Amino acid sequence: MTTPAVTGWLLDTHAMLWMLHADKRLSKKAADVIDGKLPVYHSAVSFWEMAIKLSGKGFDFEVDDDWSRIYPEELKRIGVPLLIPMIDDCRLVQDLPKHHGDPFDRMLVCQAKRHGLGIISMDEALDAYAVTRIW
């Protein structure tokens, strides 16, 4: 499957968190793209996913109780703009093939497609969609 050229990159939730925590699990290729010439975005969907995970078992690293303020402020400070899911993104989910069951990743795919972005993610299941993925 060929994937379109991208105008920027959208961070998957794990990539966003690993970037913010300078976690070694962020691949060199992903880090290079983040530091590259194309803009990098994050999605409000990632914060919804974080809240759900934190209400359960959480993450395998420390997340500050004030994450809902700290992370958005840091992303703004380093110039990573926010994408908010819009009705058009939601509509795309309806027609998206069910290659992936995770609703957060499905919305990220739709946002990436609608905005002409690639996705920075280690999730190989995203390769089933016509979206460029880097890891």
SS3 58: coil
Higher per-residue pLDDT: 51 or 93: 51
Task: Convert the pLDDT of each residue in 24-57 to its tens digit.
Answer: 999 999 999 999 999 999 999 999 999 998 988 8
Residue 80 domain boundaries = 8-134
The pTM is what? Answer: 0.89
SS3 22: coil
Give the total number of structural domains in the chain. 1
**Is 71 contained in some domain?**
yes
SS3 14: helix
**Is 2 contained in some domain?**
no
Continuous H helices in the chain: 13-20, 28-34, 44-54, 67-77, 87-95, 103-115
**Is 3 contained in some domain?**
no
What's the Cα-to-Cα distance from 37 to each of 14, 17, 93, rounded to whole Å? 22, 21, 29
**CATH number of residue 40's parent domain:** 3.40.50.1010
User: Out of 11-15, 46-50, 82-86, 99-103, which region has the weakest mean confidence (pLDDT)?
Assistant: 99-103
Higher per-residue pLDDT: 105 or 61: 105
**Is 26 contained in some domain?**
yes
Q: Residue 130 in contact with residue 23, Cβ under 8 Å?
A: no
**Is 15 contained in some domain?**
yes
* Tokens (6 digits) for 122: 């280690």
**Is 41 contained in some domain?**
yes
| pLDDT of res. 32 | 96
For tokens 């078992």, the residue is: 57
